Amino acid sequence: MTTPSSSSPDYATLGFTQILINLEHKGGIAIVTLNRAKYRNTFTKLLLKELTIAFELFDKDDRVRVVILTAGHDAPAYCSGADLTNGWDPWRSSKKPGAENNSPHADGGRLVLPIYTCRKLTIAAVNGDAAGIGITGLQLPFDFRFIWGGAKLTFPFVRRGISVDGLSSYLLPRLIGQSRATALLLSGLTVVPSSTLLSGLYFQILDRREDVLPAARAFALEMAGATSQVAVAYSKALIQRPGRSVEENHRLESECTYRTLNAGDAAEGVSAFLEKRKPVFRERLGDRWENWWDDQVYQYRKTKL
Amino acid sequence: MTTPSSSSPDYATLGFTQILINLEHKGGIAIVTLNRAKYRNTFTKLLLKELTIAFELFDKDDRVRVVILTAGHDAPAYCSGADLTNGWDPWRSSKKPGAENNSPHADGGRLVLPIYTCRKLTIAAVNGDAAGIGITGLQLPFDFRFIWGGAKLTFPFVRRGISVDGLSSYLLPRLIGQSRATALLLSGLTVVPSSTLLSGLYFQILDRREDVLPAARAFALEMAGATSQVAVAYSKALIQRPGRSVEENHRLESECTYRTLNAGDAAEGVSAFLEKRKPVFRERLGDRWENWWDDQVYQYRKTKL
Amino acid sequence: MTTPSSSSPDYATLGFTQILINLEHKGGIAIVTLNRAKYRNTFTKLLLKELTIAFELFDKDDRVRVVILTAGHDAPAYCSGADLTNGWDPWRSSKKPGAENNSPHADGGRLVLPIYTCRKLTIAAVNGDAAGIGITGLQLPFDFRFIWGGAKLTFPFVRRGISVDGLSSYLLPRLIGQSRATALLLSGLTVVPSSTLLSGLYFQILDRREDVLPAARAFALEMAGATSQVAVAYSKALIQRPGRSVEENHRLESECTYRTLNAGDAAEGVSAFLEKRKPVFRERLGDRWENWWDDQVYQYRKTKL
């Protein structure tokens, strides 16, 4: 059993340059803005590092209930993929994965893990074009995706000579089905959000770029006020790490039910419902979390790679 | 190998009070009606018990080919979730799951297992609003879902302070994809059947509440007359317990093909097809069933929890 | 580690009678046409044999980048299912699967495996009605499905007294979700391509039968010219054999990234992108492929059945 300790960092002092972080304490919303507009927000080793640190902190920061990732709506793109100034170099490694120190691993997947396993609600507010890691790592691991209807989107990997990246081979078939995922990943076609190939991927499609972040933020505020941080975390973990059969899943769900039912938020949730008022959930994830499924699937944050 | 023995109970003598059962012998249709309209058909320990017994009997009753679950179309709701008169009390337990006698387990999942693993065709005829267990346990484990277009639907768990229930963390992502399932389960939003978030979940959406059960019953009668009870049971088991790879699944399908091809219904099916007439399938599941996949996945009805 | 050796057979000399093969050397497109129009292209043991040999050759033939399967657009059907002239006889076997020599297995699945695991892009150009194996084995294992909008489609198994075939119990739920797959497989209903039950299955729906193959061929030519054979093969393998968790998948993707990044096509892909020109991918799968996941999932083409 490991319980990640909670923390309350001052995000302004972290010295990030490729992302900007704004924590709205009152609402519990952290907004992360990609800060490389001049370079079409392309992905670099430094951006990977800053985003990884940020999402690992959000995961443990009990003040944060919802995280939004976005870009400037007047940037040339949400993210145009990897920075290819020096070819695939930053992506490439001289060492075989799985060797001694178990690294390096593909940067796309390294970005996805801390976002996907962040126990808070996460929203991608995609207010521009996106390619490669811009649609894999910066969209697929999020819980909700808001997007500008005019965005051009592509998984270009097979047209660049490399295999699919950013855990898209795992996430996309699960998110929208293997038929659509195969068509998108093996063709590298450029599509728009209303394409039937993307059906089900986007939570909301907005007509104007400048409306994407406000819509995401309004939704985030509603979620932060209406949902239990603890209930969200356990529910998200169940969705991401289900049982291998319906019977095993029953056991996992029962464990989570046991943990959440015998806690304060459940009592408040019922009281508020019966009294027809909005609930005030006070429990903090740092106090309540336990990785009860350690020996079932994989230990939280200790990937045996 | 275990072969559940068949039985032909008299459902009228079982003393159920929270559900009503009507077995149409001729058509092979069992219609179960939730009988707690006065309480919005909320879920109780007794309702769980009666539904469990009923579906375990349907599973073994060779007369039953299709089961329909419905509510009165003038009831205030199809099912408004758990009975919260005493808070979460009936749901809560003092004992940790997995302990000695392997119980108690969450009631939602306990309801789902006998419905999901019932080897007959099952239909949910949802003619009213549904929340919580009303949309998880009373809808997701069914093979076909008919619904009134005006129904308000919600998975409210994270807004009540508890983790998702009724094996929705397992079933919903598989049924309609993880993207839509995550959006529904982690937001607790209230939606209507035509919502794109629910796309693919409902087999038919009816404009009027009173038309839901008749539409479901007409479909059930057609299915009962046109399909082989044995072929349905093996096909359903294959869908629910697929191989872990395409190769393993090939072995499982081959086993089922072997069993069903060398039986009477397969001969009748081909003859009827070649003679361009309706088939008359006479084989009974009680005579033909064998849990051949026991050591592959999980033993039928013997969950090692 | 096994590396299938490459080959360049002369398809005209193979003596096939139930399929016709046309290899367009320049474009790298192999077009296979079902040649049993007189018999509604029903499925026979010989057709199984010829298709199996053909797809195993395409897999190893470095000249082939895309395979299209189609029928004559004036044939009475794309494929009306199994040849039932002698009942289920060709399908049936006297031996139990899994016995000594590990055969026989269901013919549907035997057809699916060489198509699904063919490492090239595959397209089904469905220009007529399809039933049974005509929609399972001859459609589901392909990467892209083009279809005539007027085609009548059915999975008739439960109405013929046999369990579902052609690995549809595995593939259909993954391709379009378990809700739609269950409705289709357990009802045996006849539907058209625009049915919401099939949503997501077809890449393109054409109004006229005669337009299906030309549309598929035009798409194939574009794909053959724009994509890396090696990148496609690794990406396809990742989609078909994902990790059991997001962490394990990260390791698998990292392996594939390592292999493809350090190869010629990746360099060409980046150069072409930066120079805003079309890439010319020269690497051949026969030179680059390695079954690195052997001990993870299943050995390529060595199914331990």
CA distance between the termini of chain C: 19
Q: Is the distance from CB of A220 to CB of B166 less than 8 angstroms?
A: no
The Cα diameter of chain B in Å comes to 62
Q: Is the pLDDT of residue B52 over 80?
A: yes
Which pLDDT does position C91 carry in this prediction?
57
The predicted model gives C236-248 an average pLDDT of 91
What's chain A's average pLDDT? 89
Which pLDDT does position A293 carry in this prediction?
58
Domain boundary among B200, B225, B250: B225
Q: Nearest C-alpha of chain C: how many angstroms from A145?
A: 19
Q: Is the pLDDT of residue C303 over 80?
A: no
The predicted model gives B185-214 an average pLDDT of 98
Distances B224 to B70, B228, B242, C71, C155 between C-alpha atoms, Å: 18, 8, 25, 35, 17
Q: Is the pLDDT of residue A292 over 70?
A: no
Choosing among A160, A180, A293, A298, which should be mutated to test the C contact, i.e. which has the most C CBs within 10 A?
Answer: A160
Decide: helix, strand or coil at residue C30: strand
Q: Do B254 and C106 touch (CB under 8 A)?
A: yes
Within 10 Å of residue B139's Cβ, how many Cβ atoms? 26
Which pLDDT does position A299 carry in this prediction?
36
How far is it, in rounded angstroms, from Cα C281 to Cα B52? 60
Query: Which residues of chain A have a CB within 8 Å of the CB of C249?
Result: 109, 167, 169-170
Which pLDDT does position A89 carry in this prediction?
64
pLDDT digits (tens, 9 = 90+) for C107-125: 899 999 999 999 999 999 9
Identify whether C102 is part of a domain.
no
Bin B103: left if φ > 0, else alpha if -120 < ψ < 50, else beta.
beta
Using CA atoms in the order B3, B8, B10, B11, what is the torsion angle rounded to 10 degrees?
50
Nearest by CB to B261, from C88, C169, C180: name it: C88
Q: Do B264 and B174 reside in the same domain of the chain?
A: no
Nearest by CB to A170, from C242, C266, C269: name it: C242
Q: Do B205 and B276 reside in the same domain of the chain?
A: no
**Which subunits count as partners of chain A given 3+ CB pairs below 8 Å?**
B, C
HEC string of B116-157 equals HCCCCEEEEEECCCEEHHHCCCCCCCCCEEEEECCCCEECCH
| Type of residue at B12 | A
Q: Do C193 and C279 reside in the same domain of the chain?
A: no
Nearest by CB to C297, from B245, B249, B251: name it: B245
Q: Do C183 and B176 touch (CB under 8 A)?
A: no
Nearest by CB to A232, from B176, B177, B186: name it: B186
Q: Is the pLDDT of residue A233 over 60?
A: yes
For the entire predicted model, the pTM comes to 0.94
Classify the C-alpha dihedral A14-A17-A21-A22 as positive or negative.
Answer: positive
Query: Which residues of chain B have a CB within 8 Å of the CB of C159?
Result: 226-228, 269, 279
pLDDT digits (tens, 9 = 90+) for B7-18: 889 999 999 999
Q: Which residue has the higher pLDDT, B86 or A30?
A: A30
Which pLDDT does position B3 carry in this prediction?
44
Q: Is the pLDDT of residue A305 over 50?
A: no
Q: Do A81 and A35 reside in the same domain of the chain?
A: yes
Which pLDDT does position C291 carry in this prediction?
72
Q: Is the pLDDT of residue C52 over 70?
A: yes
Nearest by CB to C200, from A104, A112, A199: name it: A199
Q: Do A155 and A186 reside in the same domain of the chain?
A: yes
Nearest by CB to A235, from B112, B163, B297: name it: B163
Choosing among B142, B165, B169, B299, which should be mutated to test the A contact, i.e. which has the most A CBs within 10 A?
Answer: B169
B-chain residue closest to C244, CA distance = B244
What's chain B's average pLDDT? 89
Q: Do A119 and A60 reside in the same domain of the chain?
A: yes
Q: Do B40 and B157 reside in the same domain of the chain?
A: yes
Identify whether A305 is part of a domain.
no
- B274 CB-contact burial (10 Å; exposed 0-12 / middle 13-18 / buried 19+): exposed
SS3 breakdown of chain A: % helix, strand, coil, rounded to 5? Answer: 40, 15, 45
Q: Which two tokens stand for residue A291?
A: 């990785």
Q: Which two tokens stand for residue C301?
A: 């083409």
CATH number, residue B118: 3.90.226.10
Q: State the pairing for strand pair C29-34/C19-24.
A: antiparallel
Q: Do A36 and A65 reside in the same domain of the chain?
A: yes
Q: Which residue has the higher pLDDT, B248 or C133?
A: C133
Which pLDDT does position B2 carry in this prediction?
41
Query: Which residues of chain C have a CB within 8 Å of the CB of B281?
Result: 161
Q: Is the pLDDT of residue C298 over 50?
A: no
Q: Is the distance from CB of C122 to CB of C228 less than 8 angstroms?
A: no
Q: With pLDDT > 90 as the criterion, what percentage of chain C qualifies?
A: 75
Q: Is the distance from CB of A106 to CB of C253 less than 8 angstroms?
A: yes
Q: Nearest C-alpha of chain B: how many angstroms from A101?
A: 30
Choosing among A182, A258, A296, which should be mutated to test the B contact, i.e. which has the most B CBs within 10 A?
Answer: A258
Identify whether A249 is part of a domain.
yes
Which pLDDT does position C77 carry in this prediction?
98
Distances C2 to B167, C110, C265, C301 between C-alpha atoms, Å: 41, 21, 22, 10
Q: Do C37 and C156 reside in the same domain of the chain?
A: yes
Distances B193 to A172, B126, B127, B181, B206 between C-alpha atoms, Å: 24, 10, 11, 14, 10
Q: Do A78 and A63 reside in the same domain of the chain?
A: yes
Which pLDDT does position B297 carry in this prediction?
41
Nearest by CB to B227, from C104, C158, C297: name it: C158
A-chain residue closest to C255, CA distance = A97
Q: Do A253 and B106 touch (CB under 8 A)?
A: yes
Q: Do A136 and A271 reside in the same domain of the chain?
A: no
Which pLDDT does position C98 carry in this prediction?
52
Q: Nearest C-alpha of chain B: how many angstroms from A105?
A: 25
pLDDT digits (tens, 9 = 90+) for B209-248: 999 999 999 999 999 999 999 999 999 999 999 988 898 8
Tell me the pLDDT band of B98, cut-offs 50, 70 and 90. Answer: low
Q: Do A159 and C251 touch (CB under 8 A)?
A: no
Q: Do B253 and C165 touch (CB under 8 A)?
A: yes
Structural domains of chain B, count? 2
C-chain residue closest to A302, CA distance = C247
Strand order, beta sheet including A121-126: A19-24, A29-34, A66-71, A121-126, A144-148, A204-206
**Which subunits count as partners of chain B given 3+ CB pairs below 8 Å?**
A, C
Q: Is the pLDDT of residue A257 over 50?
A: yes
Q: Do C113 and B247 touch (CB under 8 A)?
A: yes
Domain boundary among A175, A200, A225: A225
Q: Is the pLDDT of residue C300 over 50?
A: no
pLDDT digits (tens, 9 = 90+) for A43-91: 999 999 999 999 999 999 999 999 999 999 999 999 999 998 877 765 5
Residue C141 domain boundaries:
19-88+107-225
Which pLDDT does position A106 carry in this prediction?
87
pLDDT digits (tens, 9 = 90+) for B31-51: 999 999 999 999 999 999 999
Q: Is the pLDDT of residue B99 over 60?
A: no
Tell me the pLDDT band of B100, cut-offs 50, 70 and 90. Answer: very low
Identify whether A3 is part of a domain.
no
Tell me the pLDDT band of C95, cut-offs 50, 70 and 90. Answer: low
Identify whether C122 is part of a domain.
yes
What's chain C's average pLDDT? 89
B6-10, B15-19, B196-200, C51-55, range with the lowest pLDDT: B6-10
Q: Which helix (H) or strand (E) holds B59?
A: helix B45-60
Within 10 Å of residue C53's Cβ, how many Cβ atoms? 16
Identify whether C93 is part of a domain.
no
Tell me the pLDDT band of C89, cut-offs 50, 70 and 90. Answer: low
Tell me the pLDDT band of C169, cut-offs 50, 70 and 90. Answer: very high
Which pLDDT does position C105 carry in this prediction?
77
CATH number, residue B262: 1.10.12.10
Q: With pLDDT > 90 as the criterion, what percentage of chain A qualifies?
A: 76
Tell me the pLDDT band of A302, cut-offs 50, 70 and 90. Answer: very low
Looking at residue C198, the DSSP 8-state letter turns out to be G
Q: Is the pLDDT of residue B298 over 90?
A: no
Nearest by CB to A162, from C226, C266, C274: name it: C266
pLDDT digits (tens, 9 = 90+) for A127-178: 999 999 999 999 999 999 999 999 999 999 999 999 999 999 999 999 999 9
Tell me the pLDDT band of B203, cut-offs 50, 70 and 90. Answer: very high
Which of C285, C268, C238, C122 shows the shortest CA–CA distance to A161? C268
Identify whether A96 is part of a domain.
no
Choosing among B67, B203, B248, B253, which should be mutated to test the C contact, i.e. which has the most C CBs within 10 A?
Answer: B253
ipTM: 0.94
pLDDT digits (tens, 9 = 90+) for B102-136: 445 788 999 999 999 999 999 999 999 999 999 99
Q: Do B161 and A274 touch (CB under 8 A)?
A: no
How many helices and strands, by DSSP H and E, does chain A display? 9, 9
Q: Is the pLDDT of residue B305 over 70?
A: no
Which pLDDT does position C97 carry in this prediction?
55
Q: Do A27 and A113 reside in the same domain of the chain?
A: yes
Tell me the pLDDT band of B275, cut-offs 50, 70 and 90. Answer: very high
Identify whether C302 is part of a domain.
no
Within 10 Å of residue B225's Cβ, how many Cβ atoms? 15
Paired with C85 in beta bridges are none
A-chain residue closest to B109, CA distance = A250
**Which subunits count as partners of chain C given 3+ CB pairs below 8 Å?**
A, B
Stated length of chain A: 305
Domain boundary among C225, C249, C270: C225
Q: Do A88 and C176 touch (CB under 8 A)?
A: no
